[in-house]
Amino acid sequence: QKEVEQNSGPLSVPEGAIASLNCTYSDRGSQSFFWYRQYSGKSPELIMSIYSNGDKEDGRFTAQLNKASQYVSLLIRDSQPSDSATYLCAVHSSNTGKLIFGQGTTLQVKP
């Protein structure tokens, strides 16, 4: 079992729709969870972090965490073509100090 799993996609949504990206992780000791966005040919950049169960909103982005289910998600409201990118889920293990990334989900927002 991979430590962090994501559906590779591509996930295709029309402009203005809600995009839902999902991630599961295996290390129950994990305390910190992140979503990075990576445009093609570019380096990842942090867009959201979440540490407690529940929802965290920042503009059009909402991160959701459920530690009991070992599940974290990212919702993008009013999706724009500029949101088209690969979204990487990352989980920090407090045991090892490693930040482990999933394989990423490619999002395509069609005008």
Partner 1 sequence: GAGVSQSPSNKVTEKGKDVELRCDPISGHTALYWYRQRLGQGLEFLIYFQGNSAPDKSGLPSDRFSAERTGESVSTLTIQRTQQEDSAVYLCASSLVGGPGEKLFFGSGTQLSVL
Cβ at position 83, least distance to partner 1 in Å: 19
Residue 18 touching partner 1 (CB under 8 A): no
How does strand 11-14 pair with strand 32-38? unpaired
**Cβ proximity of 35 and 44 under 8 Å:** no
Identify residues 32-91 at the interface with partner 1 (CB under 8 A).
Answer: 32, 34, 42-46, 49, 51, 88, 90
The single residue among 16, 78, 80, 99 that binds partner 1, judged by CB under 8 A, is: 99
Residue 97 touching partner 1 (CB under 8 A): yes
Cis peptide before 111 (omega within 30 of 0): no
**Cβ proximity of 73 and 19 under 8 Å:** no
Judged by beta carbon, residue 6 or residue 84, the one nearer partner 1 is 6
Cβ at position 16, least distance to partner 1 in Å: 28
Report, in angstroms and rounded to the nearest whole number, the Rg of the chain calculated over CA atoms. 13
Q: Which two tokens stand for residue 13?
A: 């949504």
The single residue among 14, 16, 18, 31 that binds partner 1, judged by CB under 8 A, is: 31
Q: Which two tokens stand for residue 42?
A: 């570019």
Cis peptide before 10 (omega within 30 of 0): yes
Q: Which residues bind partner 1 (CB under 8 A)?
A: 6, 31-32, 34, 42-46, 49, 51, 88, 90, 92, 94, 96-104
